[in-house]
Amino acid sequence: MSDTAPVIDIRNLHKSYGDLEVLKGVSLSAPKGHVISLIGSSGSGKSTLLRCVNLLEDSQEGDILFEGEAVVWSGTGRARHPADKKQVTRIRTNLSMVFQQFNLWAHMTILQNVMEAPVTVLKRDPAEVEVKAREYLAKVGIGDKCEVWPAQLSGGQQQRAAIARALCMEPRALLFDEPTSALDPELEQEVIRVIKALAAEGRTMIIVTHDMNLARDVSDHVVFLHQGLIEEDGPPETLFGAPKSERLRQFLSAVAA
């Protein structure tokens, strides 16, 4: 692995579901410590791209590199899939994903939820993991909720628990798939504050978001996807302040309305 290579590097990625081509040759990179936001209309390919990055979906063409290490593929086209299961596990454990739905285990306390993957997947010492888990829960502002059940928390608290769970894996990058879209505005702000704090720490993140203010405030680079292609990308001040593409101008006008 290279220390100078981007944490995540996507080159000419293609993904189809049957006859529907969702990604039509997307390339982007996330250097260490950078926040990349993906914006665009529903169906533009944002979430699919994130799932391909995390190898939850198989792409049909293109390269995915993690810290300079290319995913090894077997087969081509629709038959293509990762060839090395150990490589997939290693990459996934270093790319923690936070979903729109919180996906907490209902039968576990919040603390147990956060500890589960480091203990069972990474085989870390439970006592050491518990210390870290409590630290991360405190970091996201719910350190007093360790012993409660997910159903006893608000949506914003559950999403913050999901972020603590992702952090407890101590990943090289965090992937957020619409982390606030299932929340009402007041609870949304709780989660946004946590994401902004993580960005300020210099964590590498790719964020799929419908929240243009979040994308503007935390991103080093913003990518506007339209119909499976990158229509425009650049620093947030340029993308939001002086969009070049008519499609991007229309999109920003629509979301601002």
The predicted structure's pLDDT at residue 3? 58
Tell me the torsion sign for CA atoms 86, 90, 93, 99: negative
So what's the pLDDT on residue 257?
A: 67
pLDDT beneath 70: ranges in the chain: 1-3, 257
pLDDT for residue 119: 97
Distances (CA, A) of 206 to 17, 62, 64, 230, 254: 23, 19, 14, 15, 23
pLDDT of residue 76: 93
Cα distances (Å, whole numbers) of residue 244 to 17, 21, 208, 228, 239: 31, 25, 21, 18, 8
